[in-house]
Amino acid sequence: MKTRLALFGPPGAGKGTQARLLGSRLGFTHISTGRILRQAKREGSAIGRVARAYIDKGRLVPDEVVYDLAARAIADAGWDRFVLDGFPRTLAQARWLASCLDGGGAPLDSVVLMSLSDDRVVARLSRRRVHKVTGENFHLDSKPPPESERSFIIQRKDDRPEAVRERLRIYHETTRPVADYYRRAGIMTVVDATGSFEDVHARIHGLVHAD
């Protein structure tokens, strides 16, 4: 079984949803740099104040800011049975991660590239909503939020059309090339991210259990 994973793919591919399922069903620690940064932003901490402008515009937060957060989260997970969601996103981050994990004797087992077309990304994100307390994602068509929770349901600023376009541009220019790094390392698998979250989970689950 693979126990040190990274989920990789465009915004809206469902990385967060799948990482949460791996957490609840297989006991993986879900490490989302985006979630940690949003939390810091809400709390108004020093990191949060730096990150705010980048996040709201859909830009990447500087690498050095993310390294500290990632290192702490990986150590807290005990260097094993974790799934990275949204990290690494640049080649520099991928190289940093390799040396961090090698230092802990815990290299990545598998990188899953969740593939989804730009058109589907835009369709998913424009209708995505999030629960501001639990962080659970909803979709106005396929998974509408419960009426009783309505006052907690918001749209992320970076899910607005302008920010989505910027996130996709950055994904293609900066993040997608990181896939080649992992392809060369022989640990990357492409998974079709279309279909229901259960379908996608089944694909990833099969891969986690494959030799």
Residues of this chain that bind ligand AMP (CB under 6 A): 11, 32-34, 37, 54-55, 58-61, 66, 86-89, 93, 158, 167
Catalytic site residue 129? Answer: no
Q: Of 4, 89, 124, 129, which residue is the catalytic one?
A: 89
Nearest to ligand AMP of 161, 206 (CB atom):
161
Q: Of 156, 165, 176, 184, which residue is the catalytic one?
A: 156
Nearest to ligand AMP of 180, 209 (CB atom):
180
CB of 208 to ligand AMP, least distance (A): 20
Q: How far is CA 9 from CA 53, 140, 150, 180, in A?
A: 23, 22, 29, 13
Q: Of 15, 41, 52, 124, which residue is the catalytic one?
A: 15
Nearest to ligand AMP of 1, 74 (CB atom):
74
The answer to whether the beta carbons of residues 31 and 70 sit under 8 Å apart is yes
The answer to whether the beta carbons of residues 152 and 130 sit under 8 Å apart is no
Catalytic site residue 38? Answer: no
Exposure on the CB side of residue 1, measured as CA atoms within 13 A: 9
Give me the residues paired with residue 82 across strands.
4, 29
Q: Which two tokens stand for residue 29?
A: 């620690």
Q: Which residues are catalytic?
A: 15, 89, 128, 156, 167
